[in-house]
Homo-oligomer: A and B are copies of this chain.
Amino acid sequence: MHRTKVRVLEDVLDANGTIARANRADFDRARVTVVNLMSAPGAGKTTLLERVLGGLDGVRAGVLEGDVQSSLDADRIARLHIPVTQINTAPGFGGECHLDANMVRSALPSLPLDELDLLVIENVGNLVCPAEFRVGEDVRAMIVSVTEGEDKPLKYPLMFRACDLVIVNKIDLLPHLDFDVDKLLYHIEAVHPGVERMLVSARTGEGLDEVREWLVRAVKREPVPA
């Protein structure tokens, strides 16, 4: 049974890769940079986006919200008056635990791609499967919160390896935790040597300028030849 299951899932990943490339071609044509933002539930993805997307100088941003159920996050982002579309994964299978390229593709018609420079895709809160499904993004970023413990890179190495940026969030809570930031950074370096890291508090705003600059740099990539 196990071997069959693996083969089925490999087929699913192959199909996903084909659709992801189609998404990427559409994004390139519209000259929109796409960031796939991932984390465990409650690490602060939406709060971070609320804080950074308002202050992106000259960058027209939009958001695609992935959740098993509810439109709570999309409602929060909509208050920033930027384009936002919600994808609910619940109809899939009692709730898919990740976005796949086909879900993202089905949402594209509802987004004004030609009017955007940056599209952030906020994935379902999960440190495993989102890392396995490309959705057509240019870059991947993840958030790990200091309340989650220093061992997370060792327990979920694929997620840390798959990302171009690791944002360490909730550092305002450090005085109240038994948490060793150096140990976390050491473990991140062990599973993904040289990956860019930022220490932030989405709540107090500390470190968020660095995230904004990273996003602006991601957008200012050279245009794709026609």
Contact = CB atoms under 8 A, between A and B. Distances in A.
Contacts of A145: 42, 147
A82 to B, nearest CB: 20
A176 B173 contact: yes
A178 B202 CA distance: 12
A96 B6 CA distance: 10
Contacts of A67: 155
A118 to B, nearest CB: 24
B69 A102 contact: no
Interface in A35-90: 40-42, 67-70, 72-73
A69 B173 contact: no
Contacts of A129: 97, 129
A212 interface: no
A224 interface: no
Contacts of A177: 173
A171 interface: no
Contacts of A102: 1-2
Interface of A: 1-2, 5-6, 8-9, 12, 15, 40-42, 67-70, 72-73, 92-97, 102, 124-129, 131-132, 145, 147-149, 151-152, 154-158, 170, 172-173, 176-178, 203
15 contacts: A1-B102, A5-B93, A6-B93, A8-B8, A40-B125, A41-B152, A67-B155, A68-B157, A69-B156, A70-B151, A73-B155, A94-B132, A95-B132, A97-B128, A147-B173
